Amino acid sequence: MTYRVGRGQVLRALDGVSLAVRPGEVLGLVGESGCGKSTLGRCLLRLVQPSGGRVVFDGTDITMLPERRLRPLRQDMQMVFQDSYAALNPRRRVGDLVAEPLRVHPAPSGGRRSRGEIAARLAELMDLVGLPQTALERYPHEFSGGQRQRINIARALALSPRLVVADEPVAALDVSIQAQIVNLFMDLRDRLGLTYVFVAHDLAVVRQISTRVAVMYLGAIVELGEADAVLHHPAHPYTAALIAAVPEPVVRTQGLPPPLRGDVPSPIAPPPGCRFHTRCPVVRERCRVDPPLLRALPDGRDVACHYPLVEERAGP
């Protein structure tokens, strides 16, 4: 995914990212601001057009599919946005907003949904996300942030999708509300068998909800694996630094790398070699020239580092 930024310069928001989302899993995408996690989420749904590479959904290559043919597939893949207010048209009532996907897509039996069908589905959705039926008559600005995010979730679930991309859905909420919305996401996943791609920069949230985690840095995935393994025994120095940066009430003292120094390099001119070498606490000479590829470790995870922090035992 590249952007032109003028004067012949090119910003690579995503570079060489390859990942598969398995049905039923919750893939957490973490990384600092600007690392490309939201762009990746939007690429998956073709809300931005990737400049290269392929996006395959359920066996169908959707990368170049014209919007007209992509539209039916959109029933199966939905998105929840970070800014719950901006994602809702302020001039339309909640019932109108949540009914929109039901109106533009045909019913499973073919043909348009009747008013009665839509009304029944709206009532069902309000129950599902824990909002009162009276909410349907109201306008988005009459709700709190958490309630608005429930509205967004209801709209995303209206067509019973299989994949939901959640782009930092709780980052803009109060901490107490965050827990409620994360619980709602988990509850809905259990009840509806959903698959999530859950974008977040808050590791605590990711730890709670994810089954697998992909850590991104400067437009590339640096580590990808089971949530427990990645978050408790990070293999990439950047993952370790991210975890160390989480404020903890209890001070941990041992086995932690020093905090990162410096800023993220400009993605217009990423550093040669390993993208992380300018800030890596355990950088070695090879890292400056030789870009590490994402490779599998014996424990099943993938890491893009020449010198991972976990031991590489060969064989069983």
- Where along the sequence are the contacts to another protein (CB under 8 A)? 45, 47, 67, 70-72, 74-75, 78-79, 81, 83, 85-96, 99-101, 104-105, 115, 118-119, 122-123, 133-134, 136-139, 141-142, 152, 155
> What is the rounded distance in angstroms from the CA atom of residue 251 to the CA atom of residue 233?
18
Contact of 278 with 265, CB cutoff 8 Å: yes
Nearer to another protein, 105 or 162 (CB): 105
**Least distance between another protein and beta carbon 111 (Å):** 16
**Least distance between another protein and beta carbon 165 (Å):** 8
Crossing angle of the two packed helices 145-157 and 175-192, in degrees rounded to 10? 20
The SS3 assignment for 79 reads strand
Nearer to another protein, 15 or 83 (CB): 83
Nearer to another protein, 89 or 266 (CB): 89
CB atoms within 10 A of CB 270: 18
Crossing angle of the two packed helices 115-129 and 145-157, in degrees rounded to 10? 130
**Least distance between another protein and beta carbon 169 (Å):** 13
**Least distance between another protein and beta carbon 289 (Å):** 40
All residues at 6 or more sequence positions from 206 whose CB lies less than 8 Å from its CB, including other chains:
28, 30, 198, 200, 213, 227, 231
Contact of 302 with 295, CB cutoff 8 Å: yes
Nearer to another protein, 149 or 278 (CB): 149
Geometric angle at alpha carbon 174, from 173 and 179, rounded to 5°: 85
Nearer to another protein, 137 or 311 (CB): 137
Nearer to another protein, 105 or 306 (CB): 105
Backbone CA torsion sign across 201, 204, 205, 207: positive
**Least distance between another protein and beta carbon 46 (Å):** 9
All residues at 6 or more sequence positions from 67 whose CB lies less than 8 Å from its CB, including other chains:
none
**Least distance between another protein and beta carbon 253 (Å):** 43
